[in-house]
């Protein structure tokens, strides 16, 4: 009965068009009434405590770093480097998109920011070269969702806080799965591009490649600084976000000199607006998370899934299918915040490593960003490329399928995720 009240009130509020953050508060209030615990002070206290978290300070700084990199020329130089390296092969602009997406993912950690940058820079070039607009848009969308998996990742920060899992370990464990996502869509693109038969541009000279590498070097140092600093214990993930933002600001204003002081206010406001949406979602979700614990919903679900606890692989497959279904109707952040407190007790009861589960969970949620009808990243590409959602959805299907194959391969072979982590710990 408790589960039905929680799910029913949440879905009912969303069906009425209530924003997800407020829908979470409605479901929390419904649970409080059902449990005879309703008290506005408790509601307010949990909202405040939900946002009062030091690790969550990483979110605004990573968002700011992404805004600075797009406005300050770092993203453009990364794309140009990829263009000189692989732009000359058959379907080269597609590989440029994938390579640039992997490099940008190591800089910002925001799927929306990376996708917007890639779509603005590369979609017109791909269309001009003769590629199908919808297919090019689908490739860019599927490449953009690598950002939440390759560190630094805002999604890993949110999951780490919600699940009480080491964010540094999540960062390190996400490297190989993120690169495999890129490899999978590269293989899918190779199959698709072969049918188009478009003549690639001429190969860049060695001098042009070296010049592009020299110009992008300052941008490429950012992920190195973050990962080395985390591994050496120089700073925490939260402090790493500050370092990323300050470094990006320094490079954009002093080295590249493309970011003017007059632009800073607009960038700060944009990052603050995006952060406020995320933080309000986190705060509202913490109310539901507290009530889920009080109502012993995880224990009820553990009892319900008891037959699967001895078969962790089958359990993981079932959980991944559930997350796929939820991802078609809900954005990434609320999905993480709603499902994490429910699923983590089940995962721990089955003896599944929380870091391993976290990587698969975030990968699944990232792919959910390109699954219709919600598909936030699909909306970004459709808006930038002036296409309908239907067109982009058709274009993204082969690449989305390739990434789902990688996801379920990692379910079957967990050592692929955990082996790189064992090198560091």
For 1-46, what is each residue's pLDDT tens digit? 666 777 788 778 878 888 877 887 888 788 788 778 777 777 788 7
Q: Are 168 and 230 in contact (CB under 8 A)?
A: yes
- CB neighbourhood size of 232 (10 A): 8
What are the backbone dihedrals phi and psi of residue 292, each rounded to the nearest 5 degrees, phi first?
A: -60, -40
Q: Report the mean per-residue pLDDT for the chain.
A: 84
Indicate the pLDDT class of residue 296, thresholds 50, 70 and 90. low
**Of the ranges 49-63, 113-127, 399-413, which is most confident?**
399-413
pTM above 0.85, yes or no: no
pLDDT at 239: 86
Q: Taking a C-beta distance cutoff of 8 angstroms, is the pair 137, 398 a contact?
A: no
Residue 401 confidence (pLDDT): 95
Quick: pLDDT tens for 69-103. 878 888 888 888 888 887 777 777 888 889 888 88
Q: What is the DSSP string of 228-286?
A: HHHHTTSS-HHHHHHHHHHHHHHIIIIIS--S-HHHHHHHHHHHHHHHHHHHHHHHHHH
Q: Tell me which residue of 45, 25, 31, 18 sits closest to 281, measured CA to CA.
A: 25
Q: What is the pLDDT of residue 219?
A: 86
Cis peptide, bond prior to residue 152, ω within 30 of zero: yes
Reduced DSSP (H G I as helix, E B as strand, rest coil) percent helix, strand, coil of the chain, to 5: 80, 0, 20
Q: How far apart are CA 421 and CA 278, in angstroms?
A: 29
- Judge whether 288 and 2 are in contact, CB under 8 Å: no
- Residue matched to tokens 């869509």: 185
**Which of these, 245, 262, 268, 275, lies nearest to 74 by C-alpha position?**
245
The pLDDT-based confidence of 374 (bands split at 50, 70, 90) is low
């Amino acid at each position: 009965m408790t589960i039905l009240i929680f799910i029913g009130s949440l879905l009912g509020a969303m069906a009425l068009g209530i924003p997800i953050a407020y829908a979470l508060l409605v479901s929390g209030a419904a649970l409080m009434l059902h449990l005879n615990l309703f008290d506005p002070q408790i509601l307010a206290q949990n909202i405040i405590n939900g946002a009062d978290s030091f690790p969550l300070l990483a979110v605004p700084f990573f968002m700011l770093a992404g805004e600075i990199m797009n406005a300050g020329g770092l993203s453009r130089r990364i794309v140009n480097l990829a263009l000189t390296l692989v732009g000359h092969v058959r379907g080269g602009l597609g590989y440029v998109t994938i390579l640039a997406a992997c490099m940008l993912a190591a800089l910002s950690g925001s799927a929306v920011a990376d996708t917007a940058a890639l779509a603005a820079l590369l979609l017109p070039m791909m269309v001009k070269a003769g590629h199908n607009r919808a297919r090019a848009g689908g490739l860019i969308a599927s490449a953009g969702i690598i950002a939440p998996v390759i560190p630094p990742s805002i999604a890993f920060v949110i999951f780490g806080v919600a699940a009480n899992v080491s964010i540094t370990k999540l960062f390190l464990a996400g490297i190989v799965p993120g690169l495999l996502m890129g490899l999978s869509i590269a293989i899918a693109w190779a199959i698709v591009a072969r049918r188009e038969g478009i003549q690639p541009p001429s190969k860049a000279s060695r001098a042009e490649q070296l010049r592009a590498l020299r110009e992008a070097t300052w941008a490429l140092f950012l992920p190195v600084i973050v990962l080395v600093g985390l591994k050496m214990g120089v700073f925490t993930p939260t402090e790493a976000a500050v370092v990323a933002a300050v470094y990006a600001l320094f490079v954009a204003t002093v080295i590249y000199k493309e970011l003017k002081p007059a632009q800073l206010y607009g960038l700060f406001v944009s990052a603050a607006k995006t952060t406020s949406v995320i933080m309000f979602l986190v705060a509202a979700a913490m109310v539901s998370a507290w009530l889920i614990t009080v109502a012993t919903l995880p224990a009820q679900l553990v009892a319900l899934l008891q037959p699967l606890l001895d078969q962790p692989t089958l359990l993981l497959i079932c959980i991944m299918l559930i997350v796929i279904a939820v991802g078609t109707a809900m954005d990434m952040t609320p999905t993480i915040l709603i499902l994490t407190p429910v699923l983590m007790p089940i995962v721990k009861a089955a003896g599944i490593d929380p870091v391993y589960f976290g990587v698969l969970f975030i990968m699944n949620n990232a792919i959910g960003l390109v699954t219709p009808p919600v598909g936030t990243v699909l909306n970004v590409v459709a808006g930038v490329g002036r296409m309908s959602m239907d067109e982009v959805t058709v274009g993204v299907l082969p690449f989305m399928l390739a990434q789902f194959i990688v996801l379920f391969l990692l379910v079957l072979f967990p050592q692929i995720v955990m082996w790189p982590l064992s090198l560091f710990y």
